[in-house]
């Protein structure tokens, strides 16, 4: 009998322990995290709505504080907030919005509830992925743009200099929201030189680089309206021989006119039908056999516009940069001319000196305001004055204009007479001693030196180079 009572006592103790354990379990709070989406677009315009459900004694815990933390992203659309407390509603729910960062990645969101009554904590975690743009957050063709701060670099000078040019990629959604480059994947094609994304604290996000070993732009045939010249060995040169096409490519959507402003293309809304991105090396704005392209559909051949709206395709941004060389002294390239052609300056009179600064392709040579590139004029007689001065500042010039959309040539400036855009600078030369009649006439020789830098000063100093005009202007003052 004593053995039976002992056994019964042990069973009772075990049951009591089980009941107490069950009570502890009931007393422990519970917290569960869920999200309406665990993958959202990077770029700062998308958010995931994260809900914490808190139970206390297996019932919704209302008006209790839940503490949220994130490793990446923000709980605010306008500022960086990585932690915050939110009170639960009557259903035991606390809700926050996690906005994506600019760049792709992922984060772990942690939610914690501290129950003062039991002294126990409830914790849960959920992972949110920030991926490339999706749906309404995708960049739109035409609003995806590549712009470089300089469009004329002296990459054809010998020896070839190392040059870096800052560029900027920009993108917008159909609703006009600005997207960061870090939020999507970008692929680059370049006819010559290289394009690459830059990370860090800079005011540009892409750099175009030319290094000594890089091959040059494609030699192309002249088009209607384009000047050309023949070299000493019979070779033909034209300005587009120096033009380099650059391409940035990313996933996006074709452009359309959002008539009703709902952010979704409806069947009656017109759109821009584009083909696969291609490297337009002959600058005619259309794809030609042999040009490099991005094979969006993977069929091994170039595919043009398909006649249907593509909400998810590969879009592109295009830019042109001109490679230029040293001054080439020739009657159809770098030269000195005067207007009128007579170089006899009458007492108190003047003539106009035209300084053409062109390379062998008839492109204006590369030059920059910083570091103060200039023309230097000298006169051996001391009897002349110059306007604007003995030095004339140079500016970056292009001899042609490109269509911002197609990238084709819009017009050439070479037939515009002597203008800086055509690579020509005008200096007035006049008699510095009017009223004094020289007898006999005093001869003079005008010579020109040119100080021109092949590339911008981005990270390291790019040396100026001096070009001496062998040609001179001779004449007399009366």
Q: In three state form, how does the secondary structure of the chain look?
A: CHHHHHHHHHHHHHHHHHHHHHHHHHHCCEEEEEECCCEEECCCCCEEEEEEEEEECCEECCCCEEEEEECCCECCCCCCCCEEEEECCCCCEEEEEEECCCCCEEEEEEEEEEECCCCEEEEEEEEEEEECCCHHHCCECCCCEEEECCCEECCCCCCCCCEEEEEEEEEECCCCCEECHHHCCCEEEECCCEEEECCCCCCCCEEEEECCCCCCCCCCCCCCCCCCEECCCCCEECHHHHEEEEEEEEEEECCECCCCCCCCCCCCCCECCCCCCECCCCCCCCCCCCCCECCCCCCCCCCCCCCCCCCCEEEEEEEEEEECCCCCECCCCEEEEEECCCCEECCCCEEEEEEECECCCCCECCCCCCCCCEEEEEECCCCEEEECCCEEECCCCCCEEECCCCCCEEEECCCCCCCHHHCEEEEEEEECCCCCCCCCCEEEEEEEEEEECCCCCCCCCCCCEEEECCCCEEEEEC
Query: Do 161 and 24 contact (CB within 8 A), yes or no?
Result: no
CATH architecture assigned to 2-131 = Sandwich (2.60)
Q: Determine how many CB atoms are found less than 10 A away from the CB of residue 87.
A: 10
* Residue among 304, 322, 301, 321 at smallest CA distance from 313: 304
C-alpha closest to that of 263 among 142, 141, 137, 171: 137
* Burial degree of 148 (CB within 10 A; 0-12, 13-18, 19+): buried
How many Å apart are CA 437 and CA 435, to the nearest integer?
6
Residue 371: its pLDDT value, please?
Answer: 64
pLDDT of residue 18: 46
Take residue 326 and report the two structure tokens written for it. 């040293």
Q: Which of 112-126, 134-148, 264-278, 314-328 has the lowest mean pLDDT?
A: 134-148
Q: Per residue in 188-241, pLDDT tens? A: 999 999 999 987 778 889 999 998 778 899 999 988 888 899 988 889 999 999
Q: How far apart (Å, rounded) are the C-alpha atoms in residues 394 and 369?
A: 6
Structure tokens at 261: 């402003």
Please state the rounded mean pLDDT for residues 152-175: 90
Mean pLDDT of 414-426: 84
* pLDDT tens per residue, range 440-469: 778 888 888 888 888 887 655 556 676 777
Q: How far apart are CA 299 and CA 465, in angstroms?
A: 49
Specify the pLDDT at position 12.
Answer: 46
Of the listed ranges 360-364, 418-422, 435-439, the one predicted with least confidence: 435-439
In angstroms, how far is CA 390 from the centroid of its own chain? 39
Q: Please answer whether residues 309 and 140 qualify as being in contact, where contact means their C-beta atoms are separated by less than 8 angstroms.
A: no
Task: Identify the CA nearest to 206 among candidates 242, 172, 246.
Answer: 246
- Ranges of each domain in the chain: 2-131, 133-323, 335-477
Task: Output the average pLDDT for the chain.
Answer: 86
What is the per-residue pLDDT for 440? 73
- For residues 261-283, give the mean pLDDT: 89
pLDDT digits (tens, 9 = 90+) for 325-364: 999 988 889 999 999 988 888 888 899 999 999 999 999 9
Q: What is the pLDDT of residue 314?
A: 94
The pLDDT-based confidence of 4 (bands split at 50, 70, 90) is: low
Among 250-254, 381-385, 410-414, top mean pLDDT goes to 250-254
Q: Is the pLDDT of residue 477 over 60?
A: yes
Q: Which residue has the tokens 């509830």?
A: 113
Q: What is the pLDDT of residues 56-113, one digit of tens each?
A: 999 999 999 999 999 999 999 889 999 999 999 999 999 999 999 888 889 999 999 9
Q: Do domains 2-131 and 335-477 have the same CATH topology?
A: yes
Task: Give the per-residue pLDDT at 471.
Answer: 65
Examine the pLDDT at 135 and tell me if it is beyond 70: no
Tell me the percentage of the chain whose pLDDT exceeds 90.
Answer: 47
**pLDDT in the model for residue 188:** 95
Question: What is the rounded CA–CA span in Å between residue 225 and residue 473?
Answer: 31
Tokens 């007399």 belong to residue = 476
Least confident stretch, 161-165, 166-170, 245-249, 463-467: 463-467
Residue 215: the pLDDT is: 87
Partners of residue 189 on adjacent β-strands = 247
User: Could you tell me the pLDDT band of residue 424, with boundaries at 50, 70 and 90?
Assistant: very high
CATH architecture label of 335-477: Sandwich (2.60)
On whether the pTM is more than 0.95, the answer is: no
Whether the predicted pLDDT of 14 surpasses 60: no
| Distance linking the first and last C-alpha atoms of the chain | 148
* Nearby residues of 215 by Cβ (< 8 Å), 6 or more positions away: 192
């Amino acid at each position: 009998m004593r053995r039976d009572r002992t056994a019964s006592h042990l069973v009772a103790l075990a049951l009591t322990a089980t009941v107490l354990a069950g009570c502890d379990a009931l007393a422990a709070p519970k917290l569960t995290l869920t999200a309406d989406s665990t993958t959202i677009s990077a770029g700062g315009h998308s958010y995931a709505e994260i809900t914490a459900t808190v139970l206390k004694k297996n019932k919704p815990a209302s008006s209790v504080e839940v503490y949220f933390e994130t490793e990446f992203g923000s709980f605010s659309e306008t500022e960086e907030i990585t932690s915050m407390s939110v009170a639960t509603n009557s259903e035991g729910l606390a809700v926050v919005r996690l906005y994506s960062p600019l760049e792709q990645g992922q984060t772990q969101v942690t939610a914690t509830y501290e129950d003062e009554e039991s002294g126990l904590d409830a914790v849960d975690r959920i992972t949110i992925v920030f991926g490339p743009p999706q749906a309404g957050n995708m960049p739109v063709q035409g609003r995806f743009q590549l712009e470089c701060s300089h469009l004329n670099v002296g990459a054809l000078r010998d020896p070839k200099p190392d040059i870096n040019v800052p560029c900027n990629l920009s993108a917008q959604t159909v609703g006009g929201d600005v997207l960061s480059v870090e939020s999507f994947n970008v692929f680059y094609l370049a006819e010559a030189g290289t394009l690459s994304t830059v990370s860090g604290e800079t005011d540009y996000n892409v750099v175009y680089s030319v290094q000594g070993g890089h091959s040059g732009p494609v030699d192309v045939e002249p088009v209607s309206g384009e000047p050309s010249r023949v070299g000493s060995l019979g070779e033909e040169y034209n300005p587009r021989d120096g033009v380099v096409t650059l391409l940035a490519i990313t996933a996006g959507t074709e452009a359309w006119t959002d008539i009703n402003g709902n952010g979704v293309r409806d069947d009656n809304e017109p759109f821009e039908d584009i083909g696969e991105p291609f490297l337009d090396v002959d600058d005619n704005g259309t794809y030609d056999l042999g040009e490099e392209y991005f094979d969006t559909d993977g069929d091994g051949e170039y595919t043009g516009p398909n006649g249907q709206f593509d909400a998810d395709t590969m879009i592109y941004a295009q830019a042109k940069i001109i490679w230029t060389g040293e001054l080439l002294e020739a009657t159809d390239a770098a030269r000195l001319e005067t207007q009128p052609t007579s170089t006899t300056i009458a007492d108190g009179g003047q003539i106009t000196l035209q300084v053409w600064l062109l390379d062998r392709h008839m492109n204006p040579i590369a030059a920059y305001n910083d570091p103060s590139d200039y023309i230097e004029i000298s006169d051996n007689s001391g009897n002349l004055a110059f306007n604007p001065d003995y030095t004339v500042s140079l500016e970056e010039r292009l001899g042609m204009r490109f269509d911002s959309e197609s990238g084709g040539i819009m017009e050439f400036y070479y037939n515009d007479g002597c203008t800086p855009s055509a690579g020509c600078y005008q200096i007035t030369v006049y008699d510095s001693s009017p009223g004094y009649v020289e007898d006999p006439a005093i001869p003079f020789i005008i010579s020109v030196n040119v100080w021109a830098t092949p590339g911008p000063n981005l990270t390291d100093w790019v040396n100026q180079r001096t070009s001496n005009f062998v040609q001179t202007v001779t004449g007399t003052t009366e």
